């Protein structure tokens, strides 16, 4: 299991963010909530093999998350060969 969190997914006023009292008690935004959740899991299950990856420059954006190196590796495994495309400005797996 790999948890992907966007480095820039820290907008506490994002229109799609749950801002209920119970959600705000968890933390003010998705990045903080995700980090807190993984910290809780690791404290409760010290031998947990789940991984946390922070995706640089990604906000609440699925395309940015899954097109990132961390996203491609989460989907296809750590042994995937990543090739950076100059024309497209992104990454792809081979």
Which tens digit of pLDDT belongs to each residue from 35-90?
A: 999 999 999 999 999 999 999 999 999 999 999 999 999 999 999 888 877 665 55
Query: Is 6 in contact with 64 (CB distance < 8 Å)?
Result: yes
Confidence of residue 18 (pLDDT cuts 50, 70, 90): very high
DSSP 35-87: HHHHHHHHHH-TT---EEEEETT--S-HHHHHHSHHHHHHHH-TTPPEEE-TT
- The CA-to-CA distance between both ends of the chain, in Å, stands at 22
Query: Is 1 in contact with 51 (CB distance < 8 Å)?
Result: yes
Give the CA diameter of the chain: 46
Rounded Cα gap, residues 7 and 76, in angstroms: 22
Q: Does pLDDT of 91 surpass 70?
A: no
Q: What is the pTM of this model?
A: 0.81
Name 55's bridge partners.
6
Domain ranges of the chain: 2-93
């Amino acid at each position: 299991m790999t948890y992907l969190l966007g480095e820039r997914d820290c907008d506490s006023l994002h229109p799609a963010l749950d801002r209920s009292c119970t959600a705000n008690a968890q933390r003010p935004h998705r990045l903080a909530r995700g980090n807190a959740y993984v910290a809780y899991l690791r404290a409760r299950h010290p031998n947990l093999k789940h991984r946390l990856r922070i995706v640089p420059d990604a906000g609440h954006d699925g395309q940015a998350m899954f097109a990132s190196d961390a996203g491609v590796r989460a989907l296809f495994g750590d042994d995937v060969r990543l090739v950076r495309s100059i024309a497209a400005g992104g990454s792809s797996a081979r």
